[in-house]
């Protein structure tokens, strides 16, 4: 009988984002979701029926000897606690973003994992998508020369109006536009440019409370705002590139591109880092009237592939290589995010303590479902 080589995965947290993982992970033949759990048993049962896996309690899932990786899709405030339980149960831990609501909580998780020789992985994994990887290759191959500056904008009017059923957590510790949106931009920037050196920023709050939208389970509920909702600042990277970043829940409409990077020989428009696809555009040349042109997306994984980082981690564990959406990368991103608030509070440039390796690029030419 052929040995089953699939890494068994358990999901804790069966809320709104979980469907994306249940669906995307079916693309990879090295992983299989076998069980799901949630504090709310009804939520777990609903997903177990849709995806034909077992629904169990959190403790039963953590005690299941078959499961190697636990994917933590709970709310941000529970991320560290669930990660600690997972690692204590002897399993690798992969979390939705953020890794934890503070760098000190995240450090505890990483230290526990290191002591137990277990892996920690963390979303976002959108930087592994075809659009971001195409941008990465163009920069690495020198099309824009040495990156010197850039902009990243991730702004909107908050999730409560548009789509979320339980939006209160977006306005509590671990929420806000930086932990919810800016995290995509910063992770993409670290993949594109390498680790950062320091941050100078101002943060503010446009509204003292928000009103949940009609799709909320408690429509028109008043949500107190406990976190900043507008972050504006600059990140200095070790390469010398300086990127201006704005992440906001206070903006009704704007016309900025998600990410642009300006190099010594040209500029690149990088696609929305909250998606996996394009468009990628280049303007190369040192003339003032240089034209922008569309670049073909050269890499695999352009649809909603949330979970790609989990499959990559499973493959990395099996082959002994580093995984890309790593705890170390997420920790550095978390420190950058916290530095915006710290810089604003102190009125000073914040030098970062942490660093990380640039995650390895994905190769061109993979088949759909294939990993290197
Ligand atoms: N909704 C999105 O579009 C989206 C997109 C990307 C990332 N995320 C991230 O995914 C995570 C979950 O978001 P969501 O929108 O699915 O939230 P959600 O509120 O819809 O779901 C969270 C689920 O986790 C469960 N839960 C909470 N604490 C728990 C605990 N200690 N143990 C077990 N279960 C627990 C809740 O009962 C709930 O069912 C968040 O970190 C969020 O930032 C969400």
- pLDDT tens-place string over residues 300-354: 999 999 999 999 999 999 999 999 999 999 999 999 999 999 999 999 999 999 9
Beta carbon of 74 within 6 Å of any ligand 1 atom: yes
Strands (E), the chain: 7-12, 31-37, 54-55, 69-72, 92-95, 120-122, 147-155, 196-204, 209-211, 222-224, 230-237, 242-248, 259-263, 266-270, 280-284, 293-295, 350-351
From the CB of 102, is ligand 1 less than 6 Å away? Answer: no
CATH class of 7-122: alpha beta
pTM for the whole thing? 0.97
Q: What is the pLDDT of residues 217-271, one digit of tens each?
A: 999 999 999 999 999 999 999 999 999 999 999 999 999 999 999 999 999 999 9
**Top-level CATH class of 130-295?**
alpha beta
Atom of ligand 1 nearest to the CA of 76: 41
Beta-bridge mates of residue 69: 9, 92
pLDDT of 1 > 60? The answer is no
Within 10 angstroms of residue 168's Cβ, the number of other Cβ atoms is 18
Which pLDDT does position 2 carry in this prediction? 47
- CATH 3.40.50.720 range(s) for the chain read 7-122
Atom of ligand 1 nearest to the CA of 95: 41
Q: How confident is the model at residue 164 (pLDDT cuts 50, 70, 90)?
A: confident
Mutate to test the pocket of ligand 1, among 73, 93, 124, 272 (most ligand atoms within 8 A of CB): 73
Alpha helix stretches (DSSP H) within the chain: 18-24, 41-51, 58-63, 79-88, 103-116, 130-140, 159-162, 176-177, 183-193, 308-319, 327-346
246 lines ligand 1 (CB under 6 A): no
Ligand 1: centre distance to CA 13 (Å): 6
- The confidence score (pLDDT) of residue 163 equals 79
From the CA of 77, give the closest atom in ligand 1. Answer: 28
Average pLDDT, the chain: 96
Residue 288: its pLDDT value, please?
80
Query: If you measure from the C-alpha of residue 27 to the centroid of ligand 1, how many angstroms do you get, rounded to a whole number?
Result: 22
Asked if the model's pLDDT at residue 139 lies above 60, the reply is yes
The rounded Å distance from CA 145 to ligand 1 centre is 41
- If you average pLDDT over residues 164-169, what whole number do you get? 90
Q: How confident is the model at residue 16 (pLDDT cuts 50, 70, 90)?
A: very high
Angle at 32 between CA 27 and CA 35, to 5 degrees: 130
Q: Is 15 in the pocket of ligand 1 (CB under 6 A)?
A: yes
pLDDT of 3 > 90? The answer is: no
Residue nearest to atom 3 of ligand 1 (CA): 17
Residues of the chain with CATH 3.30.360.10: 130-295
């Amino acid at each position: 009988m052929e040995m089953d080589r699939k890494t068994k995965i358990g999901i804790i947290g069966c809320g709104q984002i979980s469907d994306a993982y249940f669906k995307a992970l079916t693309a990879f033949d090295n992983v299989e979701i076998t069980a799901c759990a949630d504090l709310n048993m009804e939520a777990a049962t609903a997903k177990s029926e849709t995806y034909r896996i077992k629904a169990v309690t959190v403790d039963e899932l953590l005690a299941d000897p078959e499961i190697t990786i636990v994917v933590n899709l709970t709310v941000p405030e529970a991320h560290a606690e669930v990660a600690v339980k997972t690692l204590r149960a002897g399993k690798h831990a992969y979390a939705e973003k953020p890794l934890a609501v503070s760098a000190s909580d995240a450090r505890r998780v990483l230290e526990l994992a290191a002591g137990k020789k277990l892996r920690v992985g963390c979303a976002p994994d959108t930087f592994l998508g075809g659009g971001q990887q195409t941008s990465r290759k163009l920069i690495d191959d020198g099309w824009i020369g040495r990156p010197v500056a850039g902009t990243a904008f991730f702004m909107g009017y908050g999730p409560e109006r548009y789509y979320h059923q339980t939006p209160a957590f977006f306005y509590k510790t671990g929420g806000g536009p930086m932990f919810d949106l800016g995290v995509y931009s910063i992770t993409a920037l670290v993949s594109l440019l390498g680790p950062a050196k320091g941050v100078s920023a101002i943060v503010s709050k446009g509204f003292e409370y928000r009103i949940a939208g009609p799709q909320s389970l408690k429509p028109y509920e008043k949500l107190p705002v406990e976190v900043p909702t507008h972050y504006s600042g600059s990140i200095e990277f070790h390469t010398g590139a300086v990127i201006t970043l704005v992440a906001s829940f206070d903006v009704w409409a704007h016309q900025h591109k998600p990410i642009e990077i300006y190099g010594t020989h040209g500029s690149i428009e990088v696609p929305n880092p909250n998606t996996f696809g394009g468009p990628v555009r280049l303007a190369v040349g040192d003339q003032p009237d240089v034209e922008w042109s569309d670049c073909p997306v050269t890499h695999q994984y352009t649809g909603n592939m949330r979970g790609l980082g989990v499959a990559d981690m499973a493959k990395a564990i099996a082959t002994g290589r580093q995984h890309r959406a790593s705890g170390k990368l997420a920790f550095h991103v978390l420190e950058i995010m916290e530095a915006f608030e710290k810089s604003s509070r102190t009125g000073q440039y914040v030098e970062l303590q942490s660093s990380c390796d640039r995650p390895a690029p994905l190769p061109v030419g993979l088949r759909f479902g294939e990993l290197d």
